[in-house]
Amino acid sequence: MSVTAPAPAASADPPSEPVTTPGRRPRAWRAHLTMAVVALAMAGYVTHGLWADPYNHVLSDNVGDQAFFEWLMGYGYYTVTQGSDPFFTDLLNAPLGVNLAANTSITVYTVLLTPLTHLAGPQVSFVTVLTLNLAGSAFAWYLFLRRWLVRNAGAAAVAGLFCGFAPGFISHANGHLNWTAGWVAPVVLWQVLKLREEGRWLRNGIRLGVLLAIGFSIAAEGLFYTALASGIFLLVWSCAKAVRHEARAALGTVLRALGVTAVVAGVLLGYPLYMHFAGPQTFSGTGFNQRYFAEDLASYLSFPSRSLAGMFGMHKDLAPNRTEETSFFGVPMVVLMVTTFMVLRHRVTPGRRATLRAVGVVGLVFVVLSWGPRLFVNKHQYDFPLPYAALAHLPLFDSALPVRFALVVVGVFGILLALLLDELISRGIPYGSLHGALSAAVVVSLLPLFPLPVRVQHRSPEPAFIADGTWKNYVPEGGTISSLPFALNVTADGQRWQAYTMARGGRPFRIPDGYFLGPQAEGEAGRKLPGQIGATQRATDWLFLRAAWWGYVIQLNNSDRAQARADFAYWGVDAVFLTAEITGSDHQTLNRDAVLATATDLLGPPERVDDVLVWRIRRGVDPVDR
């Protein structure tokens, strides 16, 4: 639906297929190829710290999520080769298992990259997906904007690069393979806009249904936001007087196509949706606090940490963490977008004004939703309810994090930026003071947001004890082993060792705990409660976490050993081991000596095997009383 492209009468839409002229296609392909190369180069620049040494470098701002997605890559190989359930596993969180459908399982990626994961390891698969996500998002937005909104390839390219490498997506490049898949939105929107094509409702309905299934498996929350934005846009656009007759004429075709979409998506997503909402180890809502993971109003006017402005100390720590800097557009960009909307609104035809108005409403709605249930301004909470407070307990909204609604605003800003640049380049806004002021404002708005590479740090290498398969001498078929401290989001090594083992093939081992979202309680009680990060901690895993994180060592007694016996028996642990290094986050060194002292006090002297220290566990016997 076009604001600027030529269209008949009051239409806000271009023809269903672009009109070509002799010689145009080769030039278009050259522009497409150039954009693809630039986007890939930008993505490589952002992720080059990981590419420098994917096996020993880790994202210092999000060690846990990188380990989780590497684990999913390893499990993808295990799924394909062993025929396991892609939406449930008992390899984590022994003995209860993990509902992967209720987590971010990125199934399509894990299956497609199975050969790479096996040959090069989950570490390389992770950085490959991350890089292609960023590049693909910029390229997909470029194609979408070029096809539906603007004539000029340069305008579409700059806006596409803004969308793909906006502050929100750079922050999510710290470990989130789901949220960096920003290409899902323009691809789905493209197909939504094609639903009105006469005579093609069946084909378009099938295509959209398949896309929804793919999008759900990669970024379910992002797909929900895309669907919500599409619905708001179409509703607002259809109600405009100038295009109401077009909407009415297309309604029948669109409804038929949506019926096909519902059938196709329902068939493809039937089992994943069942597992997500009613499968074992599911829960209600999200495992994160929606009031905490909400956007601070001032963050829209602030600069992100990983940007040129941030490099010069112009950023503010207003996000829940460095992975959730989802707005952070800065004052120049926000002012430019408001100005752009006002300028374009007075320069377009009524039909195209309907499209612009609908885009503006989508942006406003998602800005307000991103503020969450209560308003925060510079970290000060104002205790009066916002619209999200009325939505927070509704299905789907209860599983969403308000802070991430701001990612839709990236697309809205990208559309406005493309429209403005198209007007400036094509001289729709003639040379003069307004043209010069807006051109300068574009530079001043974009330059401070130019991204910096993601931060990386060293992580402990995989021990030979795991890599060489020596662990098999200590763990029977289907048995359980754990590194110390137990695997969590802040102590993720143990989950990585399991991922690398699965990727090599053969039998894997199970581990207790792990980084995932799960219920707070077992059975029906857990289904009714919000989720939590990881398993419910028991005394023994907490004992080792305290030692690693704070160096906290206590004098153990036989009561502690009795509790440990019960915990080890519950998990079915056959052995535990300690590596030479323990990876922390944000360059933090975890306290290996405290872990060793605690393990030795609890279990006695260890056995040195290869490059680790090992303690065998006889279920129900160890640790023995002293």
* Strands in 170-280 per DSSP E: none
Cβ neighbours of residue 343 closer than 8 Å, sequence gap 6 or more = 420, 429, 434, 438
Question: pLDDT tens across 172-226, in order?
Answer: 999 999 999 999 999 999 999 999 999 999 999 999 999 999 999 999 999 999 9
Q: What are residue 99's phi and psi, to 5 degrees?
A: -85, 100
pLDDT surpassing 90 at residue 12: no
How many residues does the structure list for the chain?
A: 626
pLDDT at res. 10: 33
For the chain, what percentages of helix, strand and coil (3-state, to nearest 5) are there?
Answer: 55, 10, 35
Strand pairing class (480-483; 573-578): parallel
pLDDT surpassing 70 at residue 18: no
pLDDT surpassing 60 at residue 508: yes
Please report, for the chain, how many H helices and E strands are present, in that order.
22, 12
The helix (run of H) or strand (run of E) holding residue 456 is strand 456-458
Strand pairing class (517-518; 532-533): antiparallel
Question: pLDDT tens across 213-248, in order?
Answer: 999 999 999 999 999 999 999 999 999 999 999 999
- Looking at every residue in the chain, the average pLDDT score rounds to 92
Summarize the confidence of residues 42-66 as an average pLDDT: 97
CA pair distance 372, 389, nearest whole angstrom: 7
CA pair distance 507, 510, nearest whole angstrom: 10
What the block records as the tokens of 43 is 């993505």
Q: Are 60 and 455 contacting, i.e. CB atoms less than 8 angstroms apart?
A: yes
pLDDT at res. 350: 82
Give CB contacts under 8 A, 24+ apart, made by 77-81: 77/110, 77/114, 77/117, 77/118, 77/502, 77/503, 77/505, 78/502, 78/503, 78/508, 79/110, 79/111, 80/111, 80/114, 81/114, 81/505
Cβ neighbours of residue 48 closer than 8 Å, sequence gap 6 or more = 453
Summarize the confidence of residues 97-119 as an average pLDDT: 95
pLDDT at res. 14: 39
pLDDT at res. 25: 57
Summarize the confidence of residues 564-572 as an average pLDDT: 96
Residue with tokens 């802040």: 490
pLDDT surpassing 70 at residue 275: yes
Q: Which residues pair with 577 in a beta bridge?
A: 483, 614
Q: Are 398 and 392 contacting, i.e. CB atoms less than 8 angstroms apart?
A: yes
Q: Which residues pair with 458 in a beta bridge?
A: 57
Residue with tokens 């056995």: 607
Strand pairing class (88-89; 607-609): unpaired
pTM: 0.93
Buried b (16+ CB within 10 A) or exposed e, 250-288: beebbeebbebbeebbeebbeebbebbeebbbbbbbbbb
Question: pLDDT tens across 409-455, in order?
Answer: 999 999 999 999 999 998 778 888 889 999 999 999 999 999 999 99
pLDDT surpassing 60 at residue 20: no
Percent of the chain with pLDDT over 90: 86
What the block records as the tokens of 71 is 């684990």
pLDDT at res. 239: 93
